[in-house]
Amino acid sequence: MPNVTTFDSQQRYILLQISVADKNEKLRDCIALLDTGAPASEFSDEVLQYLGFLERTKQDVSLKPGLQTQKYGKIVLPSLNVCAQAIKNLEVYVSHFDKSWGIDALIGLDFFKRFRVTIDYIKGHVITEPFAE
């Protein structure tokens, strides 16, 4: 059965609320940008530190000009929910995001490879369902 997640189609980007289990397995809400151009998902170093997966953020990270992230590591998140779809053991990049973006994560093509995803901009819906086995 497909799941429907709403987003504000008047915004420039598709922003979604996702849930990520922290180091103590408690679900925490995060704001993620659905990024069809990103080959892999990325989480900000600050949110990964908050979730207990990083001891500290790297202080000497500089962002290149433009809307880019600066990846500097990888980590496996044991459990997260994106568009009400449970994902276990997702390897993501540890990245530094500009604070002005107001997001905690980028959800990339690694998500799209796991689920059938339809984006209906007119209705403001992201429709997801697992691929048939």
Dump pLDDT digits (tens) for 99-109: 888 999 999 99
Predicted confidence (pLDDT) at residue 56 exceeds the cutoff of 80: no
Grade residue 64 by pLDDT with cuts at 50, 70 and 90: low
pLDDT digits (tens, 9 = 90+) for 113-123: 999 999 999 99
Mean pLDDT, the chain, whole residue set: 89
Which CATH number is 3-130 given? 2.40.70.10
Percent of the chain clearing pLDDT 90 (strictly above): 71
* Cβ atoms of residues 101 and 48 within 8 Å: no
Residue 66 and residue 83 in contact, taking contact as beta carbons nearer than 8 Å: no
